[in-house]
Amino acid sequence: MDLITQSLVIGLSEYAPLVLAAIGFALLYRLTGLINVAYAETITLGAYFGVWANTSFGLDFYAVLIPAGLLAGLVSVGTYLLIFRPAKHRSVGALEMIIISFGLSLFLRYGLQLVFGYPVRFFEVPPPDTVWVLGVGVASYRIIGVASVAVLALLLYWFIQRSRWGLQIRALASDEDLAQVSGIRPLVVTMLIWFIAGVAGGLAGAFFGVASSVAPLLGWRQFLPILLIVLVGGAWGIGGVIVVGVATGIGLAAMTLQTGQVLYAQLLLIVAFLVILKWRGRRLTESAKV
Amino acid sequence: MNLDWLNAFLISGLFEVVVVIGLALLLHLELGLARIANFGVVGFWGVGMYAYGVLYVQVDWPFGDPWQFLVCLALATLAAGVAGLLVGWFIADLDLDGVLVGTLGFATAVAIVATTEQDWTGGALGLGGLRFPFDLDSVKSEELVWLLITAAVVAAILFVVWRVHRSPYGRSLIALGANEPLARSLGKPTFRSKIWLFALASAGMGFIGAFYGIMVRFLELSNLGVEITLAAMVGLVLGGSARVWGGVVGVLLTVGLFDIVIQSYLPLPRDWYTQTIPVMREVVFGATLIVVLLFRPLGILGDMRRDKLMRKLHGE
Amino acid sequence: MASDVVAPAAVGRPRIRIQGAAKSFSGRVVVDVDDLVLGNHPIEGLIGPNGAGKTTLMRMIMHSTALDRGTITFIRPDGREVVLSSLPAHELAHQGVVKSNQVIMDFDKLTIWDSLLLASTEARYEQPYRLFSERATFERHQEEIRHYLDFFGFSDPMGFAMSAGEKKLLDIVRCLLLKPTFLLLDEPTAGLPDDLTEKVMEVIKELAAGGTSVVIVEHDLNVIWSLCDDVHFMAEGSVVLRGDPQSIRENHTVVEKYLGEGHV
């Protein structure tokens, strides 16, 4: 029982940002069909923006979330306008598109390292209070993290499924020509998708950052788990991504507790998810894209 | 041998160029011909490097060099080949996303195993004890000889790739890359082709990885980062991913620029070389990848010219 | 003329049997064939209005479209039966079951010669350890390839197929080089000039006379009437009528509902 409650609490609190990041990535993937490797750096940038707002202006962590999310969202839109949109207009192939995003990812990652250097950065926040949940001590930021992720996920779900903009987004994703005829402005709607995805990534980055430290590799370390979660869970829509993301967090926590090595847990996760993807085979390719 | 005239940086720079050319040539078979983007090049070369290192250092062989070297090299190549077989099987019937996640996942798994199995690999402390399979009067001359041997290996790979373009095998790879369903309908077992392509190219990458490990003589986890994949990819894409010589030209212009020209010939402050230049290199490589694919997707050398080739081979 | 070709007995011909095969796209049933045997006659036509499921049925035979349910069996000339629907897609060509494509399919980096050599080359020459077998392959196959190149008159066979017609023709020649025992042709003459259409029809007749079963989907009904020994009429996903060309032409329902007076 102990292991189960511990894994539940640790898994949820520690990996909630992962779920948020996965939602953002899944939105971009499902709605634009692009596997954006540079999404990893959107997460990293969110963390850096957060630290910057925090240390330069003395904003507390909750206030920092606003600039972190907004700026990451703007950078996300910027990469779309500067790189992915021109690439699409030049009818760059899907394979080349992934390589471009891979190049952008490395450009941003090492660019950050060039600018900020090797030392890791920390949020200047008071040491977190420890909250006891089911007998497990959890830092208060992480509780807030879980709550924010839950709220944001609900908001996103509502936005995509219920709002007028969400309707336009879904229409654009399913049939661009038809959407255009129906008076939807693709550029605005696509920018909106990139913005929302960027905000989700940036916020996830800030949560990751406050829980440990901020370094150029922050987002890249999360990229493979995100990709796996989205490819495995994405077949069932955003809901599937959330469920698989949460399950991944709990599973990682449980395996880490069992083996005492977070790396073993990650290795098992990679193997398990690859097995699932292989087993599902080609059906993935048909169902995962809107 | 008096090698005072030879800068040690020049040897290591040239070696880096030669090694990355080898990887780019093998990547060309996958990316340029069969149109499969291998984002896990580092994983295969890492398997070769670490398998060689672990076998050479940790196993008590009843014989010494050169047999120890040859046996370990063969086993390391085999290990990388088997890894390629496995990854190839995984990606054979999956699309782009599957290839990305499979190759990237494999590379990550290799880095994790190298970290956790520290009794074998030395983990974060690194693994020492590798040496050249021959003795010469100075380390510098040993390195020079090793550079020449490696260059000969890469030249052999270049020859193989050059032959592939002029063989039915190469034609079947190009067909698989250009239109896989059509190739299948013509009776080409494309899944099997991909699996063997990955097995062979990966074995080659592992082979080169073992050579790299012998040159540096000390294996570190930092060798397993994404940098080597990026270097091979950017070189290939810049030079021309569809061309035999694309990898050679592109790697000379990218890795050659940073690891030979800047490293050995530019008068820059000393601490730049350890701090700024390596990071700058990755920034420039990333940007190059984007710019080339946006403005000249087929690289400097452009598209393959099968019409010219066919006229030369069977011309009238 | 159809009557020029003497139809051998049904036994011994390569045939394809489709049983209980169905395919739906987002809830709409496109193909639902209960039991259909193709290949009882040397050349059969498959006609019907747009959306009747002709192309989908052919794609189902070739694994280009997955079956929802059902089996497709190939009855070889020697009488042995092979379940096509459980073979890997690339095995079909080895069984002699080959299809030309309705939409233009090409390897855009391969020249015409490349493409034809690719089709004729046996798997054992395409191994990575046989890097010096190009010459031998070329010599083995150049004669038959040259035969088709001369027959159809490609403008620059060492170069790339340029026009849509040339690509279409290339697709057909690739199929012929595979030495099919069962050849499916999906609108083989669409986009071809008349003289080439004639030549394609000539080759098809030759092939059928040699024992190959040919099934043609074609919109140009003149091709069907002059070439086929038997015609399957498909509508709404299944074959509703079959018979010799004459009887189909004279069937009032078909003519009124689907073909229009002009075609008769």
Decide if C255 contacts C247 (C-beta within 8 A): no
The span from the CA of B103 to the CA of B91, in Å, is 8
Tally Cβ neighbours within 10 Å of residue C26. 4
Q: Which of A100, A106, A227 sits opposite B282 (nearest CB)?
A: A106
Give the closest residue to A12 by CA, choosing from A243, A265, A287, A290.
A243
Cβ-defined contact of A83 to B230 (cutoff 8 Å): no
Pairing of strands C182-186, C213-217: parallel
Q: Which residue of A has its CA nearest to B105?
A: A270
Q: How confident is the model at residue B226 (pLDDT cuts 50, 70, 90)?
A: very high
* Each residue's pLDDT tens digit, C6-27: 444 445 789 999 999 999 888 8
The span from the CA of A140 to the CA of A128, in Å, is 6
Chain B closest CA to A182's CA: distance in Å?
A: 31
Q: How confident is the model at residue A130 (pLDDT cuts 50, 70, 90)?
A: confident
Give the pLDDT mean for A203-218. Answer: 90
- Residues of B whose CB is below 8 A from C130: 167-169
Which pair of tokens denotes residue B28? 């060309």
Residue at token pair 């059902």: C70
The span from the CA of B52 to the CA of B71, in Å, is 9
Cβ-defined contact of B279 to A83 (cutoff 8 Å): no
Q: How many residue contacts between B and C have a Cβ separation below 8 Å?
A: 120
The pLDDT of residue A289 = 29
Residue at token pair 């880096």: B16
Q: Which ranges in B179-305 belong to alpha helices (H)?
A: 180-185, 190-216, 227-239, 246-256, 270-274, 276-295
Is the predicted pLDDT of residue C99 greater than 50, yes or no?
yes
Instruction: Inform me whether the C-beta atom of residue B116 falls under 8 Å from chain A C-beta atoms.
Output: yes
Tally Cβ neighbours within 10 Å of residue A153. 20
The pLDDT of residue B300 = 95
Q: How far is CA B171 from CA B33, B311, C8, C71, C190, in A?
A: 9, 15, 39, 34, 28
Subunits with at least 3 CB pairs below 8 A relative to chain B? A, C
DSSP structure class, residue C193: -
Question: Which one of B171, B197, B202 would you mutate to disrupt binding with C, by most C Cβ within 10 Å of its Cβ?
Answer: B171
Residue A153 sits at the vertex; the CA angle it makes with A148 and A159, to the nearest 5 degrees, is 125
Q: Which of B105, B283, B285 sits opposite A274 (nearest CB)?
A: B105
The pLDDT of residue C10 = 46
Selected residues 57-96 of chain C with any CB under 8 Å from a CB in chain B:
62, 64, 88-94
Average pLDDT in chain A: 85
Is the predicted pLDDT of residue A282 greater than 80, yes or no?
no
Q: How far is CA B53 from CA A286, B126, C79, in A?
A: 43, 11, 59
In this structure, what are the phi and psi dihedrals at residue A121, rounded to the nearest 5 degrees? -115, 155
Cβ-defined contact of A103 to B95 (cutoff 8 Å): no
Instruction: Inform me whether the C-beta atom of residue B119 falls under 8 Å from chain A C-beta atoms.
Output: no
Q: Which of C107, C132, C134 sits opposite B175 (nearest CB)?
A: C107
Q: Assign residue A167 a region: left if phi > 0, alpha if psi is -120 to 50, beta otherwise?
A: alpha
Tell me the ipTM for this assembly.
Answer: 0.93
Give the closest residue to B6 by CA, choosing from B214, B145, B153.
B145
For residues B13 and A143, which has the higher predicted lDDT (pLDDT)?
B13
Give the closest residue to C45 by CA, choosing from C220, C260, C198, C254.
C220
* Each residue's pLDDT tens digit, B236-282: 999 999 999 999 999 999 999 988 888 777 777 777 777 788 899 99
What are the strands of the beta sheet with C213-217, ordered from one edge? Answer: C97-100, C182-186, C213-217, C43-47, C230-235, C238-243
Residue at token pair 């397993």: B224
Residues 6+ apart with CB under 8 A from C1: C226
Cβ-defined contact of B166 to C126 (cutoff 8 Å): no
Least confident of A15-24, A253-262, B56-65, C228-237: A253-262
Q: Which of A107, A227, A282 sits opposite B286 (nearest CB)?
A: A107
Partnered with residue A136 across adjacent β-strands are: A133
Give the closest residue to B158 by CA, choosing from B267, B24, B46, B32.
B24
DSSP structure class, residue B38: -
Subunits with at least 3 CB pairs below 8 A relative to chain A? B
Cβ-defined contact of B112 to A266 (cutoff 8 Å): yes
The pLDDT of residue C9 = 45
The pLDDT of residue C1 = 35
For residues B311 and C248, which has the higher predicted lDDT (pLDDT)?
B311
Is the predicted pLDDT of residue C102 greater than 90, yes or no?
no
* Each residue's pLDDT tens digit, C32-74: 999 999 999 999 999 888 888 888 999 999 888 888 889 999 9
Decide if C52 contacts C240 (C-beta within 8 A): no
Q: How far is CA B154 from CA A129, B158, C119, C252, in A?
A: 59, 6, 32, 73
Is the predicted pLDDT of residue C255 greater than 80, yes or no?
no
* Each residue's pLDDT tens digit, A92-128: 999 999 999 999 999 999 999 998 877 888 888 777 7
* Each residue's pLDDT tens digit, B166-220: 999 999 999 999 999 999 999 999 999 999 999 999 999 999 999 999 999 999 9
Pairing of strands C238-243, C230-235: antiparallel
Give the pLDDT mean for C167-171. Answer: 93
* Each residue's pLDDT tens digit, B89-117: 999 988 888 999 999 999 999 999 999 99
Whether residue C193 has a cis bond before it, omega within 30° of 0: no
Decide if C14 contacts C74 (C-beta within 8 A): yes
Give the pLDDT mean for C222-238. Answer: 89
Length of chain C: 264
Least confident of B5-14, B71-80, B106-115: B5-14
Is the predicted pLDDT of residue A284 greater than 80, yes or no?
no
Decide if C169 contacts C194 (C-beta within 8 A): no
Give the closest residue to B236 by CA, choosing from B287, B297, B157.
B297
Which pair of tokens denotes residue A150? 């839950």
Instruction: Inform me whether the C-beta atom of residue B233 falls under 8 Å from chain A C-beta atoms.
Output: yes
Cβ-defined contact of B237 to A261 (cutoff 8 Å): no
Instruction: Inform me whether the C-beta atom of residue C118 falls under 8 Å from chain B C-beta atoms.
Output: yes
The pLDDT of residue B1 = 60
Interhelix angle B190-216/B168-178, nearest 10 degrees: 110
Chain C closest CA to B174's CA: distance in Å?
A: 7
Length of chain A: 290
* Beta strand ranges found along chain A (DSSP E): 130-133, 136-139
Decide if A31 contacts A186 (C-beta within 8 A): no
Q: Which of C88, C93, C110 sits opposite B175 (nearest CB)?
A: C110
Cβ-defined contact of A103 to B112 (cutoff 8 Å): no
Residues 6+ apart with CB under 8 A from C188: C100, C168, C172, C200, C204, C216, C218
Pairing of strands C81-83, C69-75: antiparallel
Is the predicted pLDDT of residue B306 greater than 90, yes or no?
yes
How deeply is A106 buried, as exposed, middle or buried, from its count of CB atoms within 10 A (0-12, 13-18, 19+)? buried
Distance of CA B102 to the CA centre of its chain: 18
Percentage above 70 pLDDT, chain A: 94
The span from the CA of A88 to the CA of A90, in Å, is 5
The span from the CA of C189 to the CA of C218, in Å, is 8
The span from the CA of B235 to the CA of B244, in Å, is 12
Tally Cβ neighbours within 10 Å of residue B106. 27
Least confident of A70-84, A255-269, B190-204: A255-269
* Each residue's pLDDT tens digit, A24-35: 999 899 888 899
Give the pLDDT mean for C222-235. Answer: 89
Residue type, A283: R
Residue A88 sits at the vertex; the CA angle it makes with A86 and A93, to the nearest 5 degrees, is 130
Buried b (16+ CB within 10 A) or exposed e, B29-52: bbbbbbbbbbbbbbbbbbbbbbbb
Cβ-defined contact of A109 to B279 (cutoff 8 Å): no
The pLDDT of residue A283 = 47
The pLDDT of residue A287 = 34
Q: How confident is the model at residue A1 (pLDDT cuts 50, 70, 90)?
A: low
Is the predicted pLDDT of residue C259 greater than 70, yes or no?
no
Decide if C70 contacts C85 (C-beta within 8 A): yes
Distance of CA B136 to the CA centre of its chain: 28
Q: Which of C90, C131, C158 sits opposite B160 (nearest CB)?
A: C131
Q: Which of B169, B314, B315 sits opposite C131 (nearest CB)?
A: B169
Is the predicted pLDDT of residue A139 greater than 80, yes or no?
no
DSSP structure class, residue B123: G
The span from the CA of C99 to the CA of C217, in Å, is 11
Residue type, A39: Y
For residues A2 and A72, which has the higher predicted lDDT (pLDDT)?
A72
Give the closest residue to A54 by CA, choosing from A211, A210, A208.
A210
Buried b (16+ CB within 10 A) or exposed e, C57-82: bbbbbbbbbebbebebbbbbbeeeeb
The pLDDT of residue A147 = 85
- Residues of A whose CB is below 8 A from B116: 261, 263-264, 267
The pLDDT of residue C7 = 44
Residue type, B2: N
Instruction: Inform me whether the C-beta atom of residue B270 falls under 8 Å from chain A C-beta atoms.
Output: no
Q: Which of B169, B242, B314 sits opposite C138 (nearest CB)?
A: B314
The span from the CA of C204 to the CA of C245, in Å, is 17
- Residues of A whose CB is below 8 A from B104: 224, 227
Decide if C218 contacts C30 (C-beta within 8 A): no
The span from the CA of B220 to the CA of B217, in Å, is 10
Chain B closest CA to A32's CA: distance in Å?
A: 14
Average pLDDT in chain C: 87
Task: Specify the 3-state DSSP secondary structure of C167.
Answer: helix
Give the pLDDT mean for B290-314. Answer: 93
Cβ-defined contact of B294 to A277 (cutoff 8 Å): no
